């Protein structure tokens, strides 16, 4: 049987043909030590539940100051760790900031311990040592041996329900710990309140409210056991309050059916026979305990763990089969890993009855669409949503409708910036929802009210008191003394304004088109022709004097330097090339970017980038320059695009536990990989064009939602043959190194002829 690795996680096809792509993997992959932040565990495509092990309880702050170690735990799981503290039900995939980690469950046996203890001494608490040799991670399934408790833990999931199966030894002291105070990026006051109601000896319900990256996040749950517990109890770790009320009449520590507080852990006791399996169904809801219970009964009515696992893997198999590739084993590994990562987020945020909580904290019902959350838009507008417009158009249509619902419910009347769990956490810059809306509208994916969508874009873009937009409108740039990311904000707003102009053009709104096309040219205001770089500008119109082109700190950029950001004019490469001095000069500048050496001090102020995510000065591990390798097409040197793309694919994506050269950021890194492996990339989402690169696959078949197929063939493909001598689309030559969206969606045959010789 052939084997496929999932970024270092071994994928074994579950059906006869490896291209069936039911992928299984043995080792979790998080990327480089400080980046990556992906997790192993049980989830279904775009599922609300992401059930996964957490390997430590690192606090966000120590002695009131930020703890840098917490950054390595954005996903809850760190591959280098040797202990597991439990299995929680919500996680982010590949983000550089975090939240979630709700409702951690840990099975134990022996002496009851209500504290996780420390990693250096696992037996000091309920955590357990584990070995990767006894760990299996597959799409929709996770298994690990908890060595200190001699318990086999298995996890699987449906959309809204996590299912646990714990195989215990014979013991009169078997326990299930429910940790209601644990979380990711945790700090003392993060949990606002928790409530638990013990309905009977197999069912409990409740909720948890937290104040974190999302400041008003409430998650409801229903938890059901396959076996009645003998007794139960709780420990409240909150200091005794001044006012205790008259609940003090009860002993709430043991067998009390209604529990409330901020810092609570519960336990449930069992007697188990040797090899006995205790199962748990844990359902989530954004709305209510009743809805959580309804979700559970609808999605997992029985107790057949293997059946739920099989269905989860069938769901993944269906999604992964949408693209079948022929490639080297390593490229298969990377491609299907990327596809898996790309289909984890955004996540479903509605119950089986269609209800969800809106930004106004009221209950709404999604009529005619599925409501989604987890919009890491500064990252995902670049390639993930354009990839959805090809391979998941109906889902992206629902995502855009979810963004419109977000806008309607938002008291500030803005489209989402970084949205999760009925909140906007306002992370990163730009208003990139408009890019997602524009790309969906231009490509005919969005079937909603485009006029209303345009209105939402315009209102968002004119929100003067958000991140320098007022100055941007009045001056055409954001003064450096008023905003620490003034240059990157200006550049990103300019691109977003171009996207708004494309919607207006399609709808025949000429005055709106003219206004936003003019705004889209604001990038020139931060271009300093004397040095050929983007540079911070002061309110008086002068450029900032103290300027370091290599530094990422205090220079007006977010997650990058001017070497990368100076190329961020994806909507007008020709205009940028003219400003920079012409094609020859820009080609030389691009060469320098990919071949320069960064000194060690460059990394002094970068938490999320290490050398593994950089080629020369090109930072692939963060997103602002993801389009840059394709700019050689605009300077008449497409062979260098082909060369650079293949180099990036090889250097930044490897089938090893640390094989991802940066944060996956909810699928953006993975979407870049898939597009580039197939031979084309959306340089400017909002356009219907894709730049041609150099495919890494030998062949591929894309099964499109409209019933058509696009077949890709790379004749003469090899590691040496990275150059493209010619391209045929349905036997007709492609001479301008561009594809149209319609070319892809109409299906047919895209044929690349590969060579080891540069064709100039």
**The pLDDT of residue 244 is above 60:** yes
| Per-residue model confidence as pLDDT tens digits over 362-414 | 999 999 999 999 999 999 999 999 999 999 999 999 999 999 999 999 999 99
Residue 134: give the domain boundaries: 15-318
pLDDT at 605: 64
Q: Is residue 92 part of a domain?
A: yes
- How far CA 595 is from CA of 166, 212, 338, 442, 445, in Å, comes to 52, 41, 27, 37, 40
| Per-residue model confidence as pLDDT tens digits over 579-627 | 999 999 999 999 999 999 888 777 666 656 667 778 999 999 888 999 9
Q: Is residue 696 part of a domain?
A: no
Our CA dihedral for 380, 385, 391, 393, rounded to 10 degrees, sits at 150
Q: Is residue 282 part of a domain?
A: yes
What span, in angstroms and rounded, lies between the C-alpha atoms of 537 and 428? 20
Q: Is residue 265 part of a domain?
A: yes
| Per-residue model confidence as pLDDT tens digits over 413-471 | 999 999 999 999 999 999 999 999 999 999 999 999 999 999 999 999 999 999 999 99
Q: Is residue 101 part of a domain?
A: yes
Q: Indicate which CATH number applies to the domain containing 36.
A: 2.70.98.10
Q: Is residue 700 part of a domain?
A: no
pLDDT at 608: 62
pLDDT at 654: 87
Helix (H/G/I), strand (E/B), else coil: 284: strand
**Cβ atoms of 669 and 94 closer than 8 Å:** yes
Q: What's the domain count of the chain? A: 1
Omega of the bond leading into 346 within 30 degrees of 0 (cis): yes
β-pair partners for 106 = 177
451 φ/ψ sector (left φ>0, alpha ψ -120 to 50, else beta): alpha
**Cβ atoms of 631 and 638 closer than 8 Å:** no
pLDDT at 603: 66
Helix (H/G/I), strand (E/B), else coil: 174: strand
Instruction: Tell me 113's DSSP state.
Output: -
Query: Exposed (0-12), middle (13-18) or buried (19+): which is 415, by Cβ within 10 Å?
Result: buried
Q: Is residue 690 part of a domain?
A: no
Residue 746 token pair: 């109409």
Residue 698 token pair: 């030998």
Model pTM?
0.95
**Percent of the chain's residues with pLDDT above 90:** 84
- How far CA 290 is from CA of 255, 294, 430, 548, in Å, comes to 22, 6, 38, 57
What span, in angstroms and rounded, lies between the C-alpha atoms of 58 and 118? 10
**Cβ atoms of 666 and 94 closer than 8 Å:** yes
Best CA proximity match to 66, nearest among 97, 87, 91: 97
Average pLDDT value for the chain: 92
What span, in angstroms and rounded, lies between the C-alpha atoms of 488 and 490? 5
CA 358 to chain centroid, in Å, comes to 21
Mean pLDDT of 705-734: 97
Q: Is residue 68 part of a domain?
A: yes
β-pair partners for 660 = 653
- Residue 19: how many CB atoms within 10 A of its CB? 18
| Per-residue model confidence as pLDDT tens digits over 294-309 | 999 999 999 999 999 9
């Amino acid at each position: 049987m052939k084997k496929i690795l999932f970024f270092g996680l071994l994928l074994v096809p579950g059906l006869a043909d490896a291209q069936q792509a039911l992928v299984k993997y043995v080792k979790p992959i998080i990327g480089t030590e400080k980046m990556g932040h992906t997790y192993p565990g049980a989830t279904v495509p775009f599922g609300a539940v992401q059930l996964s092990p957490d390997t430590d309880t690192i606090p966000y702050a120590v002695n009131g100051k930020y703890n840098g170690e917490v950054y390595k735990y954005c996903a809850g799981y760190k591959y280098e760790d040797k202990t597991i503290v439990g299995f929680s039900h919500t996680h982010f995939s590949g983000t550089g900031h975090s939240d979630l980690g709700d409702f951690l469950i840990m099975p134990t046996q022996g002496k009851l311990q209500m504290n996780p203890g420390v990693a250096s001494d696992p037996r000091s608490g309920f955590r357990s040592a584990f070995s990767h040799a006894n760990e299996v991670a597959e799409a929709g399934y996770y298994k690990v041996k908890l060595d200190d408790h001699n318990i086999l833990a298995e996890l699987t999931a449906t959309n809204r329900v996590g299912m646990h199966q714990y195989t215990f030894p014979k013991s009169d002291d078997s326990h299930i710990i429910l940790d209601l105070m644990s979380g990711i990026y945790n700090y003392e006051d993060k949990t606002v309140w928790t409530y638990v109601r013990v309905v009977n000896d197999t069912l409990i319900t409740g909720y948890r409210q937290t104040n974190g990256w999302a400041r008003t996040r409430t998650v409801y749950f229903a938890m059901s056991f396959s076996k009645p517990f003998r007794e139960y109890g709780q420990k409240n770790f909150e200091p005794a309050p001044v006012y205790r009320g008259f609940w003090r009449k009860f002993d709430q520590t043991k067998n009390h059916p209604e529990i409330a507080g901020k810092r609570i852990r519960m336990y449930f006791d069992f007697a188990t026979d040797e090899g006995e399996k205790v199962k748990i169904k844990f359902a989530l809801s954004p709305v209510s305990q009743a809805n959580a219970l309804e979700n559970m009964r609808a999605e997992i009515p029985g107790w057949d763990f293997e059946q739920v696992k099989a269905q989860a893997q069938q769901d993944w198999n269906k999604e992964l089969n949408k693209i079948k590739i022929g490639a080297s084993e390593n490229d298969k590994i990377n491609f299907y890993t990327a596809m898996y990562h790309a289909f984890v987020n955004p996540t479903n945020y509605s119950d089986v009855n269609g209800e969800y909580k809106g930004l106004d904290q009221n209950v709404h019902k999604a009529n005619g669409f599925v409501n989604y959350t987890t919009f890491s838009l500064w990252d995902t507008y670049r390639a993930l949503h354009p990839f959805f417009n090809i391979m998941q158009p109906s889902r992206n249509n629902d995502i855009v409708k979810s963004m419109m619902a977000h806008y309607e419910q938002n008291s500030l009347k803005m489209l989402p910036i970084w949205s999760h769990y009925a909140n906007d956490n306002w992370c990163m810059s730009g208003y990139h929802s408009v890019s997602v809306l524009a790309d969906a509208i231009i490509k005919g994916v969005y079937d909603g009210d485009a006029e209303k969508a345009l209105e939402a874009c315009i209102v968002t873009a004119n929100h003067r008191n958000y991140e320098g937009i007022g100055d941007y409108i009045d001056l055409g740039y954001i003064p450096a003394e008023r905003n620490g990311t003034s240059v990157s904000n200006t550049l990103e707003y300019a691109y977003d304004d171009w996207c708004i102009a494309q919607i207006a053009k399609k709808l025949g709104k000429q005055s709106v088109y003219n206004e936003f096309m003019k705004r889209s040219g604001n990038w020139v205001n931060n271009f300093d022709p004397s040095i050929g770089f983007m540079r911070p500008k002061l309110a008086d119109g002068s450029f900032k004097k103290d300027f370091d082109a290599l530094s990422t700190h205090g220079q007006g950029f977010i997650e990058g330097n001017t070497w990368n950001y100076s190329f961020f004019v994806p909507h007008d490469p020709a205009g940028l090339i003219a400003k920079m001095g012409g094609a020859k000069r820009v080609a030389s500048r691009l060469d320098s970017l990919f071949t320069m050496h960064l000194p060690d001090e460059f990394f002094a102020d970068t938490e999320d980038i290490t050398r593994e995510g950089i080629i020369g000065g090109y930072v692939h591990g963060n997103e602002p320059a993801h389009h840059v390798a394709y700019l050689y097409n605009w300077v008449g040197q497409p062979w260098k695009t082909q060369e650079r793309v293949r180099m990036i694919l090889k250097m930044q994506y490897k089938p090893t536990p640390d094989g991802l050269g940066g944060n996956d950021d909810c699928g953006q890194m993975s979407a870049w990989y898939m597009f580039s492996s197939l031979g084309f990339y959306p340089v400017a989402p909002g356009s219907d064009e894709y730049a041609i690169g150099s495919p890494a696959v030998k062949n591929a078949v894309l099964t499109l939602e409209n019933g058509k197929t696009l077949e890709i063939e790379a004749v003469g493909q090899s590691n040496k043959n990275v150059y493209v001598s010619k391209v045929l689309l349905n036997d007709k030559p492609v001479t301008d190194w561009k594809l149209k969206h319609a070319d892809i969606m109409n299906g047919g045959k895209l044929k690349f002829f590969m060579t080891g010789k540069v064709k100039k």
